[in-house]
Amino acid sequence: MTAPAERHTFVVVSNRLPVDRVIEPDGSARWQHSPGGLVTALEPVMQRMDGAWVGWAGQPDLDIEPFESDGISIVPVPLSREDVRLYYEGFSNDTLWPLYHDVIAHPQYHREWWDAYVRVNRRFADAAAATSEQGATVWVQDYQLQLVPKMLRETRPDLTIGFFNHIPFPPYGIYSQLPWRTQIIEGLLGADVIGFQRLADANNFSRAVRRLKGFPTRGSTIDVPLVDESPGVRAHGPIAGGKPFRTVIARQFPISIDALGFEELARRPDIQARAKEIREELGNPKKVILGVDRLDYTKGIGHRLKAFGELIADGRVEVEDVTLVQVASPSRERVEAYRQLRDEIELMVGRINGDYGHIGHAPISYHHTSYPREEMIALYLAADVMLVTALRDGMNLVAKEYAATRIDDDGVLVLSEFAGASDELKRALLINPHDIDGLKQTILRAIQMPRAERRTRMRSMRKRVFDHDVSKWSSDFLEVLMANGRKGGS
Ligand code: G6P
């Protein structure tokens, strides 16, 4: 068990830590700061507020003492091989993930996985409690840790607790399948503020609260009766003007990216040169189409390949003129649904390339890997059209990254209406990925779009991404959290 040496006034809790443990060729290990948007957004707050980050180091059976990395205190939570199998691969990624993404894959319900989820959430809650100063603010992240807010409130009623759900929250008709639906709702309601990506997610959550708990909800506020909570729980508002309930806020805070960071890299001459080189390496096609995704069944990669393959088969796209670059980064490879997906996608790519490619030219340039950020930005700059065809996606940051990178106000974004980003990037070409004919039409429209229209659309999307970057996301959330948490007046 971890034994944090210090206590902090601001604590972030997430399944994964913002650092990766890298094993050097000589067998030694070092920590590498992972460049994710969440870390970039929270770094200034972390430094200002003496922050700590509680999470798993990404490998089983590692018991590491807390340490410091780039000014952030890192508090590792150990997971055994069994915990990884049952809590991470099982309940998080084979129960909750498919259930919360419209049951695109079948969620598996196993009581043993649930027991592990409870056990591991307890471990995270204990580590967070042991790391938190009296009256600290704790911000819990994502679906892997939905029980942590309640567990924390029970042991540490002095804390202000926020939760942010990075993935969708499903409609009640789907959510209600979950055998432990009430426990999860109760777990989340331990927070003072529960953030979602879209208004629709927040509404789905409030409806589940009404249906399962019968608590009154008004707009984004939910009144949680104090009698429903364990004794000793802090009442809000000395007992907020005698009120017999605690107010929880559930509303949308759409997450974003470090837009300036992307723009700065996009201006770098070596990255621009690399973008040109990529086009040359592809044989200088007239148009380059790009897809970038974790290899996940929610991303609609198969739908995209089908549409592209049919466009070639119909003779509406010439393979010499148009190349589709698909980057599929390896993900959750020990979960069966992900293994199957990889086989399906690679079969489709092989068929399309085998049927329509010729020596020296394949219609699809497929890469099962993850690239460093610099290479991703070169790809974004090289791409005339970016395809985001998710069947369901909390936000989809790739769409925002593409816009932030296009300092030339060029490039066309084709964006699924089932991705959270479509609420904001309204000047993208919005599509329903299930409608293959519509998708084909839209891909053609994107390829043929005149420069003036590309410019106006991209400018408007860039403005949105720069005006609502990830630091605005975190400051908006924390502002609401401080306001609602403090009402308790502890
Ligand atoms: C999504 C989730 C994150 C998760 C990430 C990568 O974006 O919202 O919580 O960390 O996928 O998945 P992984 O299972 O590798 O952490």
Transcribe 333-371 into DSSP letters.
TTSHHHHHHHHHHHHHHHHHHHHH-BTTB-SEEEE-S--
> Rounded to the nearest 10 degrees, how much is the dihedral formed by the CA atoms of 166, 172, 177, 179?
80
Same domain, 412 and 298: yes
Amino acid in position 137: T
Q: Is residue 431 part of a domain?
A: yes
Whether residue 322 sits in one domain with residue 212: no
The protein residue whose alpha carbon is closest to atom 16 in ligand 1 is: 16
Q: Which residues line ligand 1 (CB under 6 A)?
A: 16, 142, 166-167, 331-332
pLDDT given for residue 476 in this prediction = 97
Ligand 1 centroid, distance to 325 Cα (angstroms): 23
Would you call 358 exposed, middle or buried from its count of C-beta atoms within 10 A (0-12, 13-18, 19+)?
Answer: exposed
| 216 and 265, same domain (yes or no) | no
> Both 463 and 423 in a single domain?
yes
pLDDT at position 4 = 45
- Shared-domain flag, residues 67 and 101: yes
- Asked if residue 3 belongs to a domain, the reply is no
Q: What is the pLDDT of residue 35?
A: 65
Q: Cα(207) to centroid of ligand 1, in Å?
A: 26
Q: What is the DSSP string of 235-299?
A: PSSSHHHH-SEEEEEEEE------HHHHHHHHH-HHHHHHHHHHHHHTT--SEEEEEEEES-GGG
Q: Is residue 39 part of a domain?
A: yes
Per-residue pLDDT of the chain (490 residues; tens, 9 = 90+): 445 458 999 999 999 998 888 888 898 888 887 767 687 778 878 878 889 999 999 999 999 999 998 888 999 999 999 999 999 999 999 999 999 999 999 999 999 999 999 999 999 999 999 999 999 999 999 999 999 999 999 999 999 999 999 999 999 999 999 999 999 999 999 999 999 999 999 999 999 999 999 999 999 999 999 987 655 544 444 444 567 999 999 999 999 999 999 999 999 999 999 999 999 999 999 999 999 999 999 999 999 999 999 999 999 999 999 999 999 999 999 999 999 999 999 999 999 999 999 998 999 999 999 999 999 999 999 999 999 999 999 999 999 999 999 999 999 999 999 999 999 999 999 999 999 999 999 999 999 999 999 999 999 999 999 999 999 999 999 999 999 987 643 3
Quick one: pLDDT at residue 5? 56
* Number of separate domains in the chain: 2
Specify the CATH number for the domain of residue 203.
Answer: 3.40.50.2000
CA gap 194, 196 in Å, rounded = 7
Rounded CA separation 260/420 (Å) = 21
Q: Are residues 412 and 380 in the same domain?
A: yes
Edge to edge, what strands does the sheet with 221-225 contain? Answer: 67-69, 72-76, 51-56, 8-16, 132-141, 160-164, 193-196, 245-252, 221-225, 217-218
Distant-in-sequence, close-in-space partners of 297: CB < 8 Å, separation ≥ 6: 98, 104, 105, 337, 338, 341, 391
CA gyration radius, the chain? 23
Q: Do residues 112 and 17 both lie within one domain?
A: yes
DSSP code for 1: -
* Inter-CA distances, 490 with 6, 128, 315, 480, Å: 22, 19, 69, 17
The verdict on 251 and 263 lying in the same domain is no
- Burial of residue 239 (CB within 10 Å: 0-12, 13-18, 19+) is middle
pLDDT at 197: 98
Q: What distance in angstroms lies between residue 125's CA and the mean position of ligand 1's atoms?
A: 19
Ligand 1 centroid vs 362 CA: distance in angstroms? Answer: 31
At 173, the amino acid letter reads G
Is residue 2 included in any domain, yes or no?
Answer: no
H or E element in which residue 388 lies: strand 385-388
184 and 328 fall within a common domain:
no
Tens of pLDDT, residues 222-262: 999 998 765 554 444 444 456 799 999 999 999 999 999 99
> Model's pTM, two decimal places?
0.95
In eight-state DSSP terms, residue 227 is: G
Same domain flag for 228 and 352: no
In a domain, 406, yes or no: yes
Q: Are residues 224 and 291 in the same domain?
A: no
User: Which atom in ligand 1 lies closest to the alpha carbon of residue 394?
Assistant: 8
- Of residues 198, 188, 141, the one with CA closest to residue 164: 141
Q: Which of 163, 256, 294 to mutate to test the pocket of ligand 1 (most atoms within 8 A of CB)?
A: 294
Q: Is residue 1 part of a domain?
A: no
Whether residue 239 is found in the same domain as residue 269: no
User: Which residue's structure tokens are 């796209």?
Assistant: 317
Amino acid at 158: D
Which structural domain range is residue 55 located in?
8-255+472-488
Atom of ligand 1 nearest to the CA of 141: 9
Angstrom CA distances, 117 to 55, 94, 148, 281, stand at 15, 12, 10, 47
